[in-house]
């Protein structure tokens, strides 16, 4: 179910890197949570400098012009331990494929209950005992 | 309140289709939930192929290059039955106006409590008994 | 933590206005909630007319072609009073810097628990007593 939205600085990463990024994110789901690697729904959005403002140092980080934001529509029912494994795996995979610092990877997990996701056909496939 | 974000493959749909899509989404709210048809807040984002990665078969579907993702900021207080009616109505309406397969329509409902929406003026209009 | 996504009509606001907008949003957090002004994570997205549909009058408003949508990834744990202070502050600051009517400012606060945010390095910094 996770859907990734990644906001990247425009014209900074190659097409090959963007493709690798689209693979790295489901790989992180697999690393952290054993989610099948074909659960792959990734939306990239490229932002010009005038349309992206990420503080360079908030929370003691050293963010650069490479900094990105990743939001993830993520199963609300997962515990904290799963979230921490996932954000660690995302940061590790993404910083590697994009060649950026771990300080440049901001992640927010947006909770979405299982019963709120339709993979297609208008059905809510993750609810197995539907009334 | 629902706000729709639709991520579409770029240069695949006509302006007329995009306009019809913007009408179809509030019509689906009306079909499923009797929400007034002028509750219409729709944001379309067109994605080049290198910026959109949707697995072609996950969960037993047959997704094509027409596949789209729809996220909906949706009232958190609604029950499962309302969600199912809504995702079915969205899929039916959208696949018709865009001329795409129901397999190509991914939907995620992001829960937003009523007290979190400001339709304008900085007020939270859906809370009627404000302290 | 708050991350702002702002959907603006394209080619309507100057670069200077967009920069001021990026400052006004964290200033609103500071006005309303004493959040440090360097907690600044702002993503702007410019929408052509065919990609943005906001009803001109729903809920008794008078929306124009200047109308914008702001979504905020906002701490789920905050009470209603904090939300109301925040949406009022956002509307006041934003309508001023963009020179638009308060009727043209739609805001939705998307709840994100503190334990879901990684400011960098894959860690979930807002959880202080991690198991």
Residue C131 has pLDDT above 80, yes or no: no
d(CA C73, CA C3): 5
| End-to-end Cα separation, chain C, in angstroms | 21
pLDDT, one tens digit per residue, over C29-61 is 999 999 998 999 999 999 999 999 999 999 999
pLDDT tens, position by position, A63-104: 999 999 999 999 999 999 999 999 999 999 999 999 999 999
Q: What is the mean pLDDT of chain A?
A: 97
Residues of A in contact with C130 (CB under 8 A): 80, 84
A131 pLDDT exceeds 80?
A: no
Question: What pLDDT is stored for residue C82 in this prediction?
Answer: 97
Measured between alpha carbons, how far apart are the two ends of chain A, in Å?
21
Q: Which two tokens stand for residue B25?
A: 């989404």
**Residue B129 pLDDT level (bands cut at 50, 70, 90):** confident
Mutation for C interface: B4, B110, B116, B130, most C CBs within 10 A = B116
Say yes or no to pLDDT of A129 above 90. no
Instruction: Work out the average pLDDT over B70-97.
Output: 97
Q: Tell me the shortest Cα–Cα distance from A15 to chain C, in angstroms.
A: 21
pLDDT per residue over C63-94, tens digit each?
999 999 999 999 999 999 999 999 999 999 99
- ipTM over 0.85 threshold: yes
Q: Find tokens 């019809």 and name the residue.
A: B20
| pLDDT, tens only, B26-64 | 999 999 999 998 999 999 999 999 999 999 999 999 999
Of residues A39, A38, A49, the one with CA closest to residue A12:
A49
Can you tell me the distance from the alpha carbon of A64 to that of A20, in angstroms, rounded to the nearest whole number? Answer: 21
Task: Tell me the nearest-neighbour CA distance from A129 into chain C, angstroms.
Answer: 27
Q: Please say if the pLDDT value at position B117 is more than 80.
A: yes
pLDDT of residue B90: 98
Q: Does B71 have pLDDT greater than 90?
A: yes
Residue A109 vs residues A2, A36, C4, C46, C105: alpha-carbon distances, Å:
9, 19, 14, 24, 25
Q: Which residues of B touch A (CB under 8 A)?
A: 7, 45, 47, 50-55, 57-59, 61, 63, 69, 71, 74, 80-81, 83-84, 87-92, 102-111
Instruction: Report the 10 Å Cβ neighbour count for C102.
Output: 17
Q: What is the pLDDT of residue B27?
A: 98
Which residues in chain C have Cβ-Cβ distances shorter than 8 Å to A58? Answer: 36, 38-40, 119
> Where does B1-131 show beta strands of DSSP type E?
3-9, 41-47, 52-54, 68-75, 105-112, 117-118
């Amino acid at each position: 179910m996770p859907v990734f939205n990644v906001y990247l600085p425009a014209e900074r990463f190659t097409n090959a890197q963007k493709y690798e990024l689209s693979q790295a994110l489901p790989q992180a789901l697999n690393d952290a949570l054993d989610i099948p690697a074909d659960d792959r729904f990734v939306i990239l959005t490229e932002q010009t400098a005038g349309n992206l403002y990420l503080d360079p140092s908030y929370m003691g980080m050293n963010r650069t012009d490479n900094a990105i934001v990743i939001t993830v529509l993520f199963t609300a029912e997962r515990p904290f331990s799963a979230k921490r494994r996932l954000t660690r795996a995302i940061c590790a995979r993404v910083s590697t494929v994009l060649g950026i610092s771990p300080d440049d990877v901001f992640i927010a997990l947006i909770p979405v209950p299982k019963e709120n996701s339709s993979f297609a056909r208008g059905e809510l496939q993750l609810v197995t005992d539907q009334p």
